[in-house]
Amino acid sequence: MTDDLLADASRRPARAVPHAEISDELRHRLEQPASSLKVSIPVRMDDGTLRVFAGYRVRFDDTRGPAKGGIRFQPDVDVREVTTLSYWMTFKTALVDVPFGGGKGGVSVDPKELSTAELERLARGYVAAVADAIGPETDIPAPDVATNELVMGWMADEYDKIVRGHVPAAFTGKPLALGGIPGRSSATSDGAFHVLRTLRDQLLPDTDEPTVAVQGFGNAGSQLARSLADAGYRVVAVSDSRAAVHDDAGLDVHVLAEHKRETGSLEDAPAGEEIDPDELLALEVDVLIPAALEGAIHGDNADRVRARVVLEVANGPVTADADDILTEAGVEIVPDILANAGGVTVSWFEWIQGRTGDRWDAATVADRLEQRMVAATEDVVRVAEERDLPLITAAYVVAFERLSAAVDAQGTVRTYNGG
Ligand code: NAD
């Protein structure tokens, strides 16, 4: 293992290993990333000075297809974080059975300190620095924290210039006008919605109006809150980095989303009462949705969680220590590699579109996303029932067995020793 972060991230998969039919060779292959690149990106600032930023691109595993994963712009990004995220992507792509491996990238920068023109030079500089390691058949980046369609548009354009041709399948999450796909911005929340809907009868059989609290009223969290409210769930609390609002009778999340869009935060919200953001995690609700940060529920606060189900929309919002505490308390965790896999699934559609030159319409994207998310959820439920496992472990079993089938198909010790 490269460090503690990856060791911590390996604890969920490690629990699945005894229940999965996999070769030892797969486990060895997943101990280290296939490739890990650190680059320096010199950027000319608006005032004429030069700053040099550290960038990373990690391809963890590509046995099942080209690596796939976002690029984040964040001050504390380092190789350990990017490696861990690429490790999770390896399982996520296997679980939803898209023909990709796991990758991730990042730049250590506070994007709020940069002008738009500086950000563009940084985005283009990143692509120039990692161009040999990415491409539609090797490793396909996408947006992640603090990168968006505009950044992907710059990056895709820079890549095209470097290879001297149009390669729309080299990036996903692009603007529609540059080969993006309808529905990409709501894909993560739509996918999470289908997962919860598929599990609802099993996890919440005795309630007509399940109550929901959402930590992180951003892109994924606010869209999911609105879809759930429209589908008859009662959203009683939402929070962002500055404020949390609560109303047992249910919040008007459409009004709150409008307020957040206009003012940039949930402060002085026109609905509900403000509560301490930490209190949101301790509300007695049917479904708690962490949709903000890694490690939001950890060993020191997990015993305060009183939800019946935790739906992990953020990546890694529940630490391995907290897994134990929640599972012991009977809380069912729907793991991130299933709950937030809608984003990578629609990225797959965008990649197909880029490779074929076809255009998909919104209805086709929505139908195929629903089919894929329901199928992945049903695979997890089947394994959970057959092998008497919590959903988290069952999800890793499904992913492991898909990865193992690919590794076995290339030959393992049994192939060569006739065993
Ligand atoms: P975002 O930046 O749009 O939203 C994040 C929200 O969390 C913001 O509203 C922010 O104010 C809030 N937040 C930050 N700190 C908080 C705190 N301490 N308490 C409460 N709220 C806090 O990001 P996003 O795209 O919605 O992504 C959210 C999470 O979902 C991330 O972990 C991301 O990796 C994961 N995810 C997103 C996608 C996607 O397609 N958007 C796909 C897969 C996973």
Tokens of 66: 């080209």
Average predicted confidence (pLDDT) for the chain: 95
Q: What is the pLDDT of residue 91?
A: 98
Which ligand 1 atom lies nearest to the CA of residue 146? 2
Residue pLDDT, tens place only, 214-224? 999 998 999 99
Which ligand 1 atom lies nearest to the CA of residue 220? 26
Residue pLDDT, tens place only, 275-320? 999 999 999 999 999 999 889 999 999 999 999 999 999 999 999 9
Question: Would the CB of 293 count as within 6 Å of ligand 1?
Answer: yes
Question: Would the CB of 183 count as within 6 Å of ligand 1?
Answer: no
Amino acid at 165: G
Q: What is the pLDDT of residue 8?
A: 81
174-185 average pLDDT score:
96
345-374 average pLDDT score:
98
Residue pLDDT, tens place only, 206-216? 999 999 999 99
Question: From the CA of 42, how far away is ligand 1's center (Å)?
Answer: 29
Amino acid at 81: E
**pLDDT for 2 beyond 50:** no
**pLDDT for 90 beyond 90:** yes
**pLDDT for 269 beyond 70:** yes
CA distance 51 to 8: 34
53-80 average pLDDT score:
97
Which ligand 1 atom lies nearest to the CA of residue 72? 34
Question: From the CA of 47, how far away is ligand 1's center (Å)?
Answer: 32
| Of 304, 280, 303, residue with least CA distance to 290 | 280
Q: What is the pLDDT of residue 293?
A: 84
Question: From the CA of 238, how far away is ligand 1's center (Å)?
Answer: 12
Query: Ligand 1, atom 8: nearest CA belongs to which residue?
Result: 218
227-248 average pLDDT score:
97
Q: What is the pLDDT of residue 126?
A: 98
**pLDDT for 1 beyond 50:** no
Tokens of 262: 């206009």
Q: Which one is catalytic: 104, 112, 174, 260? A: 104
Which ligand 1 atom lies nearest to the CA of residue 260? 9
**pLDDT for 16 beyond 90:** yes
Distance, C-alpha 293 to centroid of its chain = 11
Q: What are the two backbone dihedrals, phi and then psi, of residue 145, each rounded to the nearest 5 degrees? A: -55, 125
**What are the C-alpha distances in Å from 359 to residues 180, 195, 355?**
9, 26, 11
**pLDDT for 67 beyond 60:** yes
Question: From the CA of 104, how far away is ligand 1's center (Å)?
Answer: 17
Question: Would the CB of 148 count as within 6 Å of ligand 1?
Answer: no
Helices 342-356 + 187-203 axis angle, to 10: 140
Q: What are the two backbone dihedrals, phi and then psi, of residue 131, each rounded to the nearest 5 degrees? A: -55, -35
Top pLDDT among 219 and 415 is at 219
339-364 average pLDDT score:
97
CA distance 217 to 228: 13
**pLDDT for 419 beyond 80:** no
92 catalytic residue (yes or no): no
